[in-house]
């Protein structure tokens, strides 16, 4: 390996490719990596990404190996082997050739998909980046695939990072990155360099920081060379832990092996301790894009398959639809039936002495009968099943009614395997924020505490159209400005401190100057806080990293252009478990802890109860459906404690048990807080949400809202979106502290909603925590949920959401659950439900990436269920029943013929006709009809939620329906075989009459199964249906002509030579072939009688629609005649 990047000289014992690693820079301008094999992977291109499965040499073997992991292919391989037995009843080519064709079709499909992956890989691997070349001592562009561990890289604004890198230096001391390619979050995140690296880069030897301006790029390239050389000169050593998939788990340490006296003095001046610990905030994962920062210099830490993106690229466990399970069970049932039939035939042949005549053993006869009837499970079954699902998925993707007018994005079926389950949903579990609401946070109200323990509201901060038209501020903004414009106002001090808290305690970034100032943050709430503070005159100006430290300076401009400078010494971040965020700041020599969080969390942490007017405001805001947060702070008088605490906090951030240690250290300061006030944020409902929920409830689907909001807020939102109505009787199961209390609450709730037609439940996290761990409580809660239509669950963690979904799945094995959400905290429940729907929201794309179907608005759930889901269930159910039916029809002929010839193991139909029947003649029609069949217009389906009952009650696919199809198959198959065979045929396969009659029977089978398909089609006279039927009969004619009248047919099927001309020119064959189908009129009469006296809801709706349309036409015609008269 050349020394333009990191070399391979070994410094110590190897740790293994997946172990810890050491990167060392020396004054000889050499970078060494231990273990050296890290940069020898993938033929010296360790950063190469390879997602392909095959090479040209391994393609076919690997594809075939994967295909034979499927039980169906193993079955057909077994049949293909036994069909080659000597003196078998069937030509081996009629079975082996189609099977090879299916295998090759799948193999070429795999190859096509693999070549597409190869194209995507090349697009990634051939991108270029800047790397420091130790030979030429300049930064040169190299391909991403050639980046090695230990390379010093330079990235400019709007460029992606080629590997997981450790930040060395950033323009202005801070780097802002977009992680949208990694986790889908659109908000920028801040990254800094470690204290040691910050100190080194603050030295003159490292070159100056380059500001934006003319020729900035060239200046950065010159300065970056000095920075890289400085790292080599000081002997930087980077030790990193083993690569791990967890995004926030990235640790290591830094030290200097040949530090100069100047560097040592600098480290001492800035109090930088060695070794310098590293945490994930100092790294940038591969694929992230640098934004709003001129440049970043970094060291490649992890490359290729060891980067976070690749470690997290493992495919999720696939979901299998219930109809797929039923199909598999049906196939298993047919295999068992086939096994019993073969045993019966072989045994009967032994009893009747047939084996003495032909000398075949019982086992051989068993195999021969298996060969004769194996096509009762067709080779094309699963292929056609996948094609139908694919077409149904494409229909979802192309549906214009689910296209968001704002983003122009339509629905996306990320997997087509579950489309029919969307027509059978029993439970919907929905997130609230960003799913039912817009997730566009607007600062609505605030209540500020005062010295006398009183709290007063400032008014409504929301702008109305009338105020905008008049260019006037909202009442709350006017009141806030009024108070802050007069220092003599008794409320001035408390109101100023309240808004300073909002402007200083956050992780928001600021761009632009003056009126063009723009705020960006990972939390929409925090951006709303900063904007509200700016509106009243308390403006967040800047955030600047302090060189050589992990601290930063936040400047807030107060009333009268007075600046308040806060040094952020430590940030205790928000998490779904903590539900609060704190910062430790230094201001004018004083230390403060500024904290904000949910009221149920903050209450115990405050020095007084959140009661009085403050508590009243909390309740009032919640009843308005607003999201509330408590703002609190305290002064830290013990400076020695603060300094000791900060040291221990820094250790906790890089500890092995990081989360636990951080929580323990945080608890030492997050107590005895003094409330500063309460905020109320409005998150408006999305368009169409109330109407969508009303429709879902009307379909008989139970609807649960799972949210982290407080109870009052969630209940008011539920009322606003019509989940709860004025007539809903609510039972509250909240504030629970023990299992016994939880069980008692369930009993009380039963009494509350007993006998009520519209009962609703309200649960909270305390109750859910107790009940989900109770063996007796889980079934009791499920029974209670079944007796109610709706439920709101509040204060839930992401895992509690998933456990509730899994509880319903466990309690109701046949029920279908659907979870819908928009954020990362919804991913567990989306993955836990049978069907997961992701909404493209403002919290990133993680929910979409984990979902089965992605949509842009909650209201699109209605057409997804009532149109696509309902139709998909009917279509897939029809497909499965029909496929079992049509192959049973053909198999019945062999069953009857076996009894006629005393089980002599001979076939009833020509082999190649069998193969054509399964694929082209009767295979394609069912795919076209069930995929493109049309029942009622979408606008009718959307206003008829009662039609969804077919899927809820499994009316289209159940034991009764399947038995009816099978009885019909026995009747049609027996009729098709017996009439020609008994009237114009014979029992001797050596005679021409037998094969002519067999061909007539085959034609009747095609007529019967096509007629049955036409009968069950919802639009039998639709152009597509008629054309595919004609195509089927055309294929039948072409197949007969080729096999009976051509030299190719003489080779493939010599038994039926001249059969086509014979059966269509001889009246003896012609009459049974055209008269027997008249018996299908009896089927039609029975089918129509059922449609009249016991119709499906869909059939009844179609009839109503037809009559209403006819009456409308009659009225229009009469009106026209009257006008003419």
- Read off the pLDDT of residues 741-772 as tens digits, 9 standing for 90 and up: 999 999 999 999 988 888 899 998 889 999 98
Over the stretch 944-989, which tens digit does the pLDDT of each residue have?
999 999 999 999 999 999 999 999 999 999 999 999 999 988 888 8
From residue 189, give the alpha-carbon distance in Å to each of 175, 284, 540, 579, 649.
Answer: 8, 10, 17, 20, 21
- The DSSP secondary-structure symbol of 868 reads I
> Looking at 312-316, 408-412, 536-540, 917-921, which range is the least confident one?
312-316
Give the CA distances from residue 634 to residues 605, 637, 844, 1057, 1083, in Å, rounded to whole numbers and listed in that order. 11, 9, 34, 99, 84
- At 1082, list the tokens: 């009896």
Distance CA 111, CA 121 (A): 15
838 neighbors 822 (Cβ within 8 angstroms): yes
Which range has the top average pLDDT, 63-77, 493-507, 792-806, 817-831? 493-507
Q: Report residue 424 as tokens.
A: 């059978």
Percent of the chain with pLDDT strictly greater than 90:
40
Least confident among 760-774, 841-855, 936-950, 1042-1056: 841-855
Task: Give CA–CA dist 523/574, Å, rounded.
Answer: 10
Q: What is the mean pLDDT of the chain?
A: 86
375, 890 contact by CB (below 8 A):
yes
Nearest to 622 by CA among 370, 759, 795, 464: 795
pLDDT confidence band for 453 (50 / 70 / 90): low
| Percent of residues, the chain, with pLDDT higher than 70 | 94
DSSP codes joined into one string, 914-950: HHHIIIIITTHHHHHHHHH---S-HHHHHT-GGGGHH
Phi and psi, residue 441, nearest 5°? -80, 130
Q: Phi and psi of 296, rounded to 5°?
A: -140, 130
Q: What is the mean pLDDT of residues 357-366?
A: 80
Is residue 422 a contact partner of residue 406, using CB atoms and an 8 Å limit? no
Confidence of residue 4 (pLDDT cuts 50, 70, 90): very low
Rounded CA-CA distance 449/678 in Å is 8
Burial zone of 974 (CB within 10 Å; 0-12 exposed, 13-18 middle, 19+ buried): middle
Token pair for 502: 């909002």
For residues 231 and 169, give the distance between their C-alpha atoms in angstroms, rounded to a whole number. 11
- Listing DSSP states for 582-641 in one string gives EEEEEETTEEEEEEEE-HHHHGGGBSS-S-HHHHHHHHHHHHTT-EEEEEEEEEE--HHH
Question: What's the distance, CA 112 to chain centroid?
Answer: 25
Residue position matching structure tokens 């040169």 = 140
Quote the CA–CA distance of 862 and 840 in Å, as a whole number: 16
Model confidence at 796: pLDDT above 60: yes
Q: What is the pLDDT of residues 511-546, one digit of tens each?
A: 766 556 778 776 778 889 999 999 999 999 888 877
Confidence category of residue 1, pLDDT binned at 50, 70, 90: very low
pLDDT for res 548: 66
The dihedral sign for the CA sequence 1120, 1121, 1122, 1124: positive
Read off the tokens for 511. 């761009």
Q: Looking at residues 254-260, what average pLDDT do you find?
A: 90
How would you label 989-1012 residue by residue, b for 16+ Cβ within 10 Å and e otherwise? beeebbbbbbbbbbbbbbbbbbbb
pLDDT above 70 (res 9): no
Q: What integer pLDDT is reported at residue 1118 of this predicted model?
A: 56
DSSP E strands in 125-222: the ranges are 128-133, 138-143, 152-156, 164-170, 175-178, 188-191
Cβ atoms within 10 Å of 934's Cβ, excluding its own: 12
Residue carrying structure tokens 């139709």: 871
**Cα distance between residue 9 and residue 19, in whole Å:** 17
Residue 659, pLDDT > 50, answer yes
Which structure tokens are listed for 789?
């239509």
Q: Which position has the higher pLDDT, 918 or 186? A: 918
Whether cis (ω within 30° of 0) applies to the bond prior to 573 is no
* pLDDT tens digits along 689-721: 999 999 999 999 999 999 887 787 788 888 888
pLDDT of residue 650: 83
Q: Tell me, what's the pLDDT at 17?
A: 53
- pLDDT confidence of residue 437: 82
Give tens-digit pLDDT for 87-109.
777 788 778 888 888 888 888 88
Proportion of the chain in helix, strand, coil states, percent, rounded to 5: 50, 20, 30
Is the pLDDT reported for residue 44 higher than 80?
no
pLDDT on residue 181: 65
**pLDDT number for residue 7:** 42
pLDDT at 202 over 90: no
Rounded to whole angstroms, how far apart are CA atoms 814 and 257? 65
**How many alpha carbons fall within 13 Å on the CB side of residue 115?**
6
pLDDT value, residue 318: 65
Tens of pLDDT, residue by residue over 1083-1117, are 888 888 888 888 999 988 888 888 887 776 665 55
Measured CA to CA, the distance from residue 187 to residue 178 in angstroms comes to 7
- Judged on CB neighbours under 10 Å (0-12, 13-18, 19+), 435 is buried
DSSP class of residue 165?
E
Q: Whose CA is closest to 237, among 446, 63, 6, 522?
A: 6
* Model pLDDT, residue 3: 44
Position 608 scores a pLDDT of 84
Among 220-229, 349-358, 823-832, name the most confident range. Answer: 220-229
The confidence score (pLDDT) of residue 5 equals: 47
Q: In whole angstroms, give the CA distance from residue 697 to residue 699.
A: 5
């Amino acid at each position: 390996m050349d020394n333009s990047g990191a070399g391979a000289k070994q410094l110590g014992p190897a740790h293994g490719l997946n172990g810890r690693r050491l990167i060392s820079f020396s004054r000889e301008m050499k970078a060494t990596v231990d273990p050296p094999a890290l940069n020898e992977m993938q033929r010296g291109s360790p950063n190469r990404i390879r997602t392909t499965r095959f090479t040209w040499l391994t393609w076919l073997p690997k594809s075939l190996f994967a295909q034979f992991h499927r039980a169906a292919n193993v079955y057909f391989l077994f049949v293909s082997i036994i069909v080659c037995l000597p003196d078998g009843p069937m030509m081996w080519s009629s079975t082996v050739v189609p099977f090879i064709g299916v295998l090759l079709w799948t193999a070429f499909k795999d190859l096509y998909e693999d070549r597409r992956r190869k194209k995507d890989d090349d697009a990634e691997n051939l991108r270029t980046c800047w790397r420091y070349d130790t030979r030429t001592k300049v930064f040169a562009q190299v391909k991403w695939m050639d980046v090695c561990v230990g390379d010093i890289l330079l990235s400019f604004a709007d460029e992606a990072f080629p590997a997981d890198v450790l930040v060395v230096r950033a323009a202005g001391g801070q780097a802002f990155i977009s992680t949208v390619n990694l986790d889908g979050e659109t908000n920028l995140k801040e990254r800094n360099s470690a204290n040691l690296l910050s100190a080194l880069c603050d030295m003159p030897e490292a070159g100056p920081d380059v500001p934006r301006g003319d020729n900035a790029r060239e200046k950065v390239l010159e300065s970056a060379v000095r920075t890289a050389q400085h790292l080599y000169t000081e002997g930087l050593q980077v030790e990193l832990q083993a690569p791990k998939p967890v995004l926030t788990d990235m640790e290591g340490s830094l030290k200097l092996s040949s530090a100069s006296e100047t560097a040592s003095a600098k480290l001492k001046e800035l109090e930088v301790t060695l070794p310098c610990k590293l945490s994930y905030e100092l790294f940038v994962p591969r694929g992230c894009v640098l934004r709003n920062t001129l440049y970043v210099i970094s060291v490649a830490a992890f490359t290729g398959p060891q980067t976070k993106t690749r470690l997290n690229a493992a495919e999720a466990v696939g979901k299998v639809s219930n109809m797929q399970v039923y199909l598999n069970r049906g196939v298993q049932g047919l295999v068992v039936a086939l096994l019993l039939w073969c045993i019966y035939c072989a045994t009967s042949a032994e009893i009747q002495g047939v084996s003495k005549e032909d000398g075949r053993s019982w086992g051989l006869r068993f195999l021969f009968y298996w060969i004769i009837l194996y096509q009762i499970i067709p080779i094309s079954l699963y292929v056609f099943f996948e094609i139908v699902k694919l077409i149904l998925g494409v229909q979802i993707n192309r549906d214009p009614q689910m296209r968001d007018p704002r983003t122009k994005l339509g629905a996306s079926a990320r997997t087509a395997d579950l489309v029919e389950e969307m027509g059978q949903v029993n439970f919907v579990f929905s997130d609230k924020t960003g799913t039912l609401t817009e997730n566009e946070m607007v600062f609505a109200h605030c209540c500020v505490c005062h010295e006398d323990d009183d709290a007063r509201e400032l008014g409504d901060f929301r702008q109305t159209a009338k105020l905008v038209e008049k260019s006037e501020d909202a009442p709350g903004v006017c009141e806030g400005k009024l108070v802050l414009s007069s220092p003599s106002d008794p409320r001035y001090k408390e109101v100023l401190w309240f808004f300073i808290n909002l402007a200083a305690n956050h992780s928001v970034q600021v761009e632009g100057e003056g009126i063009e100032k723009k705020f960006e943050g990972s939390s929409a709430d925090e951006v709303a806080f900063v904007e509200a503070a700016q509106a009243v005159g308390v403006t967040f100006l800047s955030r600047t990293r302090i060189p050589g430290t992990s601290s930063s300076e936040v400047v807030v401009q107060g009333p009268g252009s007075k600046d308040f400078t806060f040094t952020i010494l430590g940030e205790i971040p928000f998490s779904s478990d903590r539900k609060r965020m704190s910062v430790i700041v230094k201001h004018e020599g004083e230390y403060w802890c500024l904290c904000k969080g949910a009221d149920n969390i903050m209450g115990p942490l405050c020095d007084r109860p959140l009661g009085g007017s403050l508590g009243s405001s909390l309740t009032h805001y919640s009843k308005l459906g607003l999201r509330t947060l408590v703002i609190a702070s305290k002064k830290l008088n013990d400076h020695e404690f603060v300094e000791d605490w900060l040291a221990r906090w820094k250790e906790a951030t890089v500890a092995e048990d990081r989360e636990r240690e951080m929580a323990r250290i945080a608890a030492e300061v997050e107590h005895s807080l003094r409330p500063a006030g309460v905020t109320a944020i409005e998150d408006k409902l999305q368009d169409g949400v109330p109407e969508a929920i009303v429709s879902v409830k009307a379909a008989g689907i139970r609807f649960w809202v799972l949210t982290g909001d407080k109870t009052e807020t969630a209940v008011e939102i539920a009322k606003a979106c019509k989940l709860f109505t004025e007539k809903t009787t609510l039972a509250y199961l909240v504030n629970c502290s023990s299992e016994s209390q939880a069980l008692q609450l369930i009993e009380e709730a039963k009494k509350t909603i007993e006998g009520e037609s519209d009962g609703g439940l309200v649960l909270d996290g305390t109750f859910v925590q107790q009940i989900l761990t109770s063996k007796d409580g889980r079934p009791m809660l499920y029974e209670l949920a079944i007796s109610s239509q709706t439920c709101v669950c509040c204060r839930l963690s992401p895992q509690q959401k998933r456990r509730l979904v899994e509880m319903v799945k466990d309690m109701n094995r046949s029920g279908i659950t659907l979870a819908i959400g928009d954020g990362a905290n919804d991913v567990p429940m989306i993955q836990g439900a049978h069907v997961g729907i992701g909404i493209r929201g403002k919290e990133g794309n993680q929910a979409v990436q984990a979902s089965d179907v992605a949509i842009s608005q909650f209201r699109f759930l209605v057409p997804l269920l009532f149109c696509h889901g309902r139709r998909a269930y009917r279509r897939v159910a029809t497909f499965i029943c029909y496929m079992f039916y049509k192959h049973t029809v053909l198999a019945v002929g062999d069953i009857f013929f076996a009894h006629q010839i005393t089980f002599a193991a001979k076939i009833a139909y020509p082999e190649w006709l069998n193969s054509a029947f399964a694929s082209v003649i009767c295979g394609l029609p069912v795919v076209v009809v069930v995929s493109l069949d049309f029942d009622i217009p979408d606008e009718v389906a959307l206003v008829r939620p009662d039609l969804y009952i077919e899927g809820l009650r499994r009316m289209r696919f159940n034991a009764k329906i399947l038995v009816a199809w099978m009885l019909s198959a026995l009747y049609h198959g027996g009729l098709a075989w017996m009439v020609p065979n008994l009237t114009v045929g014979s029992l001797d396969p050596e005679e021409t009459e037998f094969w002519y009659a067999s061909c007539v029977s085959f034609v009747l089978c095609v007529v019967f199964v096509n007629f049955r398909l036409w009968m069950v089609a919802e639009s039998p006279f639709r152009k597509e249906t008629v054309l595919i039927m004609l195509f089927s009969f055309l294929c039948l004619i072409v197949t007969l002509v080729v096999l009976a009248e051509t030299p190719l047919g003489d080779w493939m099927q010599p038994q039926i030579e001249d059969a086509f001309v014979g059966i269509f020119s001889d009246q003896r064959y012609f009459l049974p072939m055209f008269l027997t189908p008249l018996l299908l009129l009896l089927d039609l009469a029975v089918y129509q009688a059922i449609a009249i006296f016991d119709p499906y809801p869909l059939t009844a709706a179609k009839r109503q629609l037809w009559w209403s349309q006819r009456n409308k036409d009659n009225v229009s015609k009469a009106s026209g005649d009257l006008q003419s008269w």
